[in-house]
Structure 1
Amino acid sequence: MLHIDRVHLSLIEMPLKKPFTTHLGTVKNRQSIIIEVIDSDGISGFGEAVAFSSPWYTEETTATVLHMLNDFLIPKLLNEKINHPQEVSRLFASIRRNEMAKAGIETAIWDLYAKKRDQSLSALIGGSRTEIPAGAVVATEDVLHALRQIELFQKQGYQRLKVKISPENDVRFLKEIRKEYPNIPLMADANSAYKLADVDQLRALDEFRLLMIEQPLAVTDMVDHATLQREISTPICLDESISSIHDAYSAIQLGSCKIMNIKMGRVGGLENAKRIHDLCVDHQIQVWCGGMIEFGISRAHNIALATLPGFTIPGDIVSSNHYWEEDIIEPFVEVKNGMISVPAEAGIGFLINRKRLKEVTISYGEYIKGKGV
């Protein structure tokens, strides 16, 4: 049994080394919530709630996540008994949605549990890889800047590149990229920029031989994606549309996609992410691990997740120094020859740089069992 005595919350903020731009907006500074759960033996597990400070990706924000953690999830956790991290999703089932808030604390408990068993998180969940392939994201509105980013990523060995597109730039961007790099593994991410009425424009993208087009239509849609997939040859990958195991099941039954992007934060944690992975494997749907411009703790959890056998496409898991001058973990995540080594140490396999964590913390809270804040 896990005897959790305390929970620490740190709201952190750091500037990105370079802006991250999509048609939805530009991210220059990144906030995140670091969650530390501590048991009666003094062992800590770490998770990261990856909501942004504004609701451009999902309805959750750092402010709403803090509200849910402070007023609902942490009190519920400290008042219940848990034997295994798999029980956390059921514990929080009466609280609707708020998946990023749930995932932040659920992943911390997975890290704690793996450390208690002196086992790496990847081995604990059934992962078998000792290294995983890395992919990277090109996020800029300037095509020349995009080509420079691709050149750099190619030198660093990234095995799959993703470019952000919109109806205003798609053909222009992809044509220039394919002219310079005709054979690189390339995908496009639309972040819901299109409507089904744009089917002819989307069909025109087939000529660019993309690995996939990610989330072309509305975030809540399944039906129109199914119609679109029948009209284009490029595989559709669903991202924002998949926030639960039921969403994944519905997409498969409708034929809404051929590929799914699995993000722990978006689906409520590691257990739900693993269940979606298993469902997709059973139905021959390819999966890959998405990124959230996260800090090292979330990135470490993603590395563990991506060791599962269904993750056949390189994920959005980049080196720590791609986004940050100094991350909050030790050692930094590093891409070498397009691959990331999977740590064999217990838990997520990385240490927390507490000095750096304190430097970037803008608010802090501690919760003690039986005492509250």
Structure 2
Amino acid sequence: MPDIVEFRAHRVALHRGRRPESILVALTDELGTVGWGETALSDEKAWDDLEHRIGPALPGLEWEHPEDLGGLSALGVPSAVAAVETAAWDLWGRRHGVPVAHALGGTRTSIVTGARVPCQPTLESLAPTVNRYIGAGYSRITLEVRPGWDVEVVRTVRTAYPALALQIDGVCAYTDSPEHLDALEAMDGYDLTAIERPFRDLAPHASLQRSVRAAVAPDVTDLDTLHAAIDQHAGRALSLRIGKLGGLTAARGAHDLAYASGWDVWCGGSGVFGIGKAASVALASLPGCSLPSDITEFAGGPEYVTPPVRSSGGVVAVPLTQPGLGHEVESARLTRLATADLRFTRG
């Protein structure tokens, strides 16, 4: 594999100076082939790691396959590594004429999509938001909940949509106090598919899984945590998040372990500029990703990859005829949105 001769990173916001922000990474090889990666900017450490450790180490680095880049995990936080490693998969796929979905072992030609609904200002504003997603064909809704915004929220949506596949995301806001456990069990009574990351610590998930019918999905950030969750029976479902796990290779490893253990799996999106979502589509094509994945947004906003990563009738196609991630990046438009740039070259 030709060396990486240039590393570029761009810190990009949809609206200058405002969130959401993403880090975009472009890797260029000796032949001028470019691979792209994206990760949501969740903390400043990711940008600092790219600037001072990962970026300077990449130009001239010899590698044959993205799996050879596992050592990058020692140089930065998982989200920074994920952006670089995704770009390496895209570059490798383009060089070899192979779709990343195929290279990862994906078998699906399309992905069923779900949608996430954040906490709303009022219950009255909740139903129209959910209805908008259902009207667009999304087959599963995940409601973000927190103590005080939970049981009544789930009751309202379930009453309005009795047959809807429904999940909740506790965003690690609950504890194993009797009050919080009562609320989680009460929400389970409304026929939930999954209860995602209710607790910050792993230990309470096992007792909750014993007391609810829904599959509990702990917040997994590495394979050691997943091994422990499986051993402790602390769940039955896994949400794959490329940025948290440190890239496509690690996410595929988590998928393989969860799938072999009989867990349900779905994939979360990453970033808002299309590149991260394209990587999530490739990951969600793996055979164990049997639940609807949170990948796309509504059409109508600006698009920065061609073709757009867009759900149609609740389904997004896996690009199986194009190399790499399967999308062309509107690099000039994206770099104009950048609030900061990094560039390192060989020699």
The two structures share one fold, judged by TM-score above 0.5: yes
Q: Residue in 2 aligned with 1:122?
A: 101
What whole-Å deviation, never above 9, does each CA across 1:172-209 have from its counterpart, x for those lacking one? 11111111111100101110111111222211112110
Distance in 2, matches of 1:254 and 1:2, equals: 44
What whole-Å deviation, never above 9, does each CA across 1:99-139 have from its counterpart, x for those lacking one? 00111101100000000111111111111111110110111
Q: Residue in 1 aligned with 2:170?
A: 190
Distance in 2, matches of 1:206 and 1:223, equals: 19
Distance in 2, matches of 1:84 and 1:286, equals: 29
Q: Residue in 2 aligned with 1:40?
A: 30
Q: Residue in 2 aligned with 1:309?
A: 287
Within the alignment, does 1:164 sit opposite 2:144 as a pair? yes
Within the alignment, does 1:278 sit opposite 2:256 as a pair? yes
Distance in 2, matches of 1:107 and 1:161, equals: 27
CA contact (8 A) 1:222 1:254 kept: no
Q: Residue in 1 aligned with 2:111?
A: 132
Distance in 1, matches of 2:325 and 2:162, equals: 38
SS at match of 1:213: strand
Deviation of residue 80 (structure 1)? 3.1
User: 2:41 aligned to 51, 62, 65, which one?
Assistant: 51
Distance in 2, matches of 1:108 and 1:293, equals: 14
SS at match of 1:122: helix
Write the mapping of 1:183-332 to structure 2, written as runs, cut at 5 A. 183-197=163-177, 198-218=180-200, 221-239=201-219, 242-319=220-297, 321=299, 325-332=301-308
Deviation of residue 366 (structure 1)? 1.4
What whole-Å deviation, never above 9, does each CA across 1:278-299 have from its counterpart, x for those lacking one? 1011110111001245320000
Counterpart amino acid of residue 70 in structure 1: E
Write the mapping of 1:102-117 to structure 2, written as runs, cut at 5 A. 102-117=81-96
Distance in 1, matches of 2:186 and 2:131, equals: 25
Q: Residue in 1 aligned with 2:129?
A: 149
Distance in 1, matches of 2:258 and 2:68, equals: 22
Q: Residue in 1 aligned with 2:5?
A: 5
CA contact (8 A) 2:39 2:270 kept: no
Distance in 2, matches of 1:157 and 1:164, equals: 20
CA contact (8 A) 1:320 1:327 kept: no
Counterpart amino acid of residue 334 in structure 2: L
Q: Residue in 1 aligned with 2:65?
A: 84
SS at match of 1:281: helix
User: 2:310 aligned to 324, 334, 337, which one?
Assistant: 334
Distance in 2, matches of 1:122 and 1:162, equals: 25
Distance in 2, matches of 1:42 and 1:213, equals: 45
Deviation of residue 331 (structure 1)? 2.0
Q: Residue in 1 aligned with 2:346?
A: 369
CA contact (8 A) 2:202 2:218 kept: no
Q: Residue in 1 aligned with 2:158?
A: 178
Deviation of residue 305 (structure 1)? 0.4
User: CA RMSD for the aligned pairs?
Assistant: 1.6
Counterpart amino acid of residue 368 in structure 1: T
Deviation of residue 93 (structure 1)? 4.2
Percent of counterpart pairs with the same letter? 28
Deviation of residue 320 (structure 1)? 5.8
SS at match of 1:92: helix
State the number of aligned residues: 342
Deviation of residue 233 (structure 1)? 2.5
Counterpart amino acid of residue 137 in structure 2: G
Give 5+ residue unaligned stretches, structure 1.
Answer: 17-27, 53-60
Distance in 2, matches of 1:336 and 1:106, equals: 29
Deviation beyond 6 Å, 4+ runs, structure 1: none
Deviation of residue 79 (structure 1)? 4.8
Distance in 2, matches of 1:320 and 1:42, equals: 34
CA contact (8 A) 2:270 2:280 kept: no
Q: Residue in 2 aligned with 1:72?
A: 53
